[in-house]
């Protein structure tokens, strides 16, 4: 069974540009989570989808971040325009139901210069 996949693995962009991160959850997992780890800090929750609906987006830092989950399958996280403080590793996780183990992807390392 394929795990959670994320693309790209690494992205380097300039301040003010736009970047879109993609996450493909494990097939059949209704729950999809986005987290972010800024260097030296803890992994922080961004938002949670149940199928295509946003269950909880309390962790989204500001309106420069837009997350979507098309048809309850893959999800994208767009940062527009990117700022220096957006640099970090963005993790996606999925679970079959809300109290099941969350399986994490390898992350996307975003560097904003």
Cα distances from 37 to residues 12, 50, 107, 108, in angstroms, run 16, 22, 10, 10
- By CB under 8 A, the count of residues binding another protein is 25
CB nearer to another protein: pick between 59 and 72: 59
69-98: contacts with another protein (CB under 8 A): 91, 93, 98
53 sits near another protein (criterion: CB under 8 A): no
Q: Which residues contact 86 (CB under 8 A, 6 or more apart)?
A: 64, 79, 110, 112
- Applying CB under 8 A, the residues found at the interface with another protein are 4, 33, 35, 40-45, 48, 55-56, 58-59, 91, 93, 98-99, 101-107
């Amino acid at each position: 069974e394929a795990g959670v996949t994320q693309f790209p693995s690494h992205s380097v962009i300039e301040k003010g540009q736009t970047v879109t991160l993609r996450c493909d959850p494990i097939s059949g997992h209704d729950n999809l989570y986005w987290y972010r780890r800024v260097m030296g800090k803890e992994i922080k929750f961004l938002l949670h989808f149940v199928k295509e609906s946003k269950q909880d987006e309390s962790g989204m830092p500001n309106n420069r971040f837009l997350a979507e989950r098309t048809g309850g399958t893959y999800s994208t996280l767009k940062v527009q325009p990117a700022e220096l403080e957006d640099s970090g590793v963005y993790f996606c996780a999925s679970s079959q139901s809300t109290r099941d183990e969350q399986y994490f992807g390898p992350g996307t390392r975003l560097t904003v210069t």
